[in-house]
Structure 1
Amino acid sequence: MAFLQANVYSNVLGMEVSIDLILPQKTEKKIGTSTVGQMSDIPVLYLLHGMGGNHSAWERRTSIERYVSKLGLAVIMPSTDLGWYTDTTYDMNYWTFLSQELPEILQELFPQLTTKREKTFAAGLSMGGYGALKLGLALPEKFGAVASLSGAVNIAEHVDAFLAVRGRNYWEGIFGPLEELKGSVNDPMYLLNELVKSGKSIPKIFLCCGEEDDLLPLNNEMTKALTEANIPHTFEVGPGNHTWEFWDQWIQRVLDWLPLEK
């Protein structure tokens, strides 16, 4: 594999953005891990960080590069600050950057990456789990599968809990008036209902959460909503809390679950 650290200019954000990338590269090592190379139509996984993290978090705190070494999969890890993968009220349009501009930048710089829905995926932890599920529900025509690890997937119903983490000014800087979050384009439950009504193809969905994680109730609520909407999905709960030990273990499960050509 090739590991790249890039700084790209975002016209949407009006600033440089840091991105870590893992790209397939054919290697034959006498000591270590040989990897699979590919020159075109490479499957892509957008791997999103949580609050307090950045583009480097997955690479530094898990063995993601080793886990994908034989999958022929490109992994894109962008930094989106504390923007919750949302077009914020303070005019930082992280959602537009992630969902529209970043794929265009990647195609310009790395044309070997796929543009096919069935080979484009998203996953993330916590805030990034929210972002990955949001991508799948809001843009089902672009993503074949999405996975949320310990995701804040029903934030609109738990505003008070999130206010205990950061103050109201922060959250309203992201989402606007919190009283209006439910039923908005930043509410995954709303996006789910709109997707069902649209009749569009629904991506594969994977949710997981630790048994001791405070976000487990939110994930229980989301899987209940998916079940009631007759949407096939995978929901798994295992030992652990909101920690990198949990996410390092479960990203391996996600990679096994992805619809990749084995």
Structure 2
Amino acid sequence: MAVIHMTFFSNVLGMTSPVTIVMPQDVQPGEKLPVLYLLHGLSDDDTTWLRQTTLEYQLAKYRMAVVMPNVHRSFYSDMAHGRKYWTYISEELPKIVKAMFPVSDRREDTFAAGLSMGGYGAMKLALAYPERFAAAASFSGALDVRALGNLFEGSEFTDIFGDLEGAKEHRDDLFHLANAAAKSGKELPALYQCCGTEDFLYNDNIRFLNHIKSLGIELTYEEEPGLHEWGYWNMKLPRVLEFLTTAAVKKDAAVSK
């Protein structure tokens, strides 16, 4: 596998931005690889998945490119007082990646996943752009942003989201995005969610799960004993990679019967 550490100037962010990419080093002429956007958590960066898990070893089983951007503590949002990280992650970065690397632009080859804040980001991509993603997965996701105020100090929460609590519908609220996705009539990505039962975000995950079920959206959910830590996420990584690369195929096969 090739591990590529890249920085480029982001016009959206107005600054250079780092990205770590893992991909096969024997790509053939004309080959287009499936691509997974793998997102980091609140206190992490674009290198943490590689440093804390067996990601590179697990990827030897798959021919895909994994793109790991750095969005700092932005919650993958166009911040109320800050930079436009949602526009960066959902629009600019995919264009840069597709222009520079041999990755597919087909929906059936495009996936998103992440942990904690990154789990939120992955579900946000899937629900906001179901026509672009075949599957998405959340590890212990921070999926109910309205309940997260106690994670931040000072004005950081409102700097990111603005008046989230005062808005009945908000562009950064996954519950609102799920409502809109369910009403859209679009085919939705295959969704996967896992969380440890001792995780401090467990109740938030259950609220999101129940809301998704109430809308009739299909979602594969798994839980087992576990905390909000890398041992749990590394243990679930093989399962998530398997889900992402097979769930969309199974869904298409079921529809065609």
TM range (shorter): over 0.9
Measured in 2, the distance between the counterparts of 1:57 and 1:210 equals 20
**Residue among 117, 120, 138 paired with 1:130:** 120
Preserved contact between residue 171 and residue 178 of structure 1 (Cα < 8 Å): no
1:164 is displaced (CA, Å) by 2.4
After TM superposition, which residue ranges in structure 1, 4 or more long, deviate above 4 angstroms?
Answer: none
Superposition TM-score, scaled by structure 1 size: 0.90
Alignment deviations for residues 175-230 of structure 1 (CA, whole Å, 9 cap, x no partner): 00132355211000000000111111100000000010011111111111111111
The residue correspondences of 1:69-148 to structure 2 (distance < 5 A) are 69-110=60-101, 112-148=102-138
The residue correspondences of 1:216-227 to structure 2 (distance < 5 A) are 216-227=202-213
- Aligned residue type for 2:20: D
- Aligned residue type for 2:89: L
Identity, % of aligned positions: 41
- Aligned residue type for 1:230: G
**Residue among 23, 32, 38 paired with 1:47:** 38
Matched residue SS, 2:192: strand
Gapped regions of structure 1 (runs ≥ 5): 27-36
- Aligned residue type for 1:178: L
The residue correspondences of 1:1-262 to structure 2 (distance < 5 A) are 1-26=1-26, 37-39=27-29, 40-110=31-101, 112-156=102-146, 158=147, 162-260=148-246
After superposition, the CA RMSD in angstroms is 1.3
1:155 is displaced (CA, Å) by 1.8
Measured in 1, the distance between the counterparts of 2:139 and 2:58 equals 16
- Aligned residue type for 2:73: L
- Aligned residue type for 1:87: D
Measured in 2, the distance between the counterparts of 1:24 and 1:129 equals 25
1:167 is displaced (CA, Å) by 2.3
- Aligned residue type for 1:201: E
Measured in 2, the distance between the counterparts of 1:109 and 1:54 equals 21
- Aligned residue type for 1:67: Q
1:233 is displaced (CA, Å) by 1.1
Superposition TM-score, scaled by structure 2 size: 0.92
Q: Call closer, same or farther: CA 1:233–1:108 in 2, change over 3 Å.
A: same
1:231 is displaced (CA, Å) by 1.2
Preserved contact between residue 123 and residue 129 of structure 1 (Cα < 8 Å): yes
1:94 is displaced (CA, Å) by 0.2
Measured in 1, the distance between the counterparts of 2:28 and 2:41 equals 30
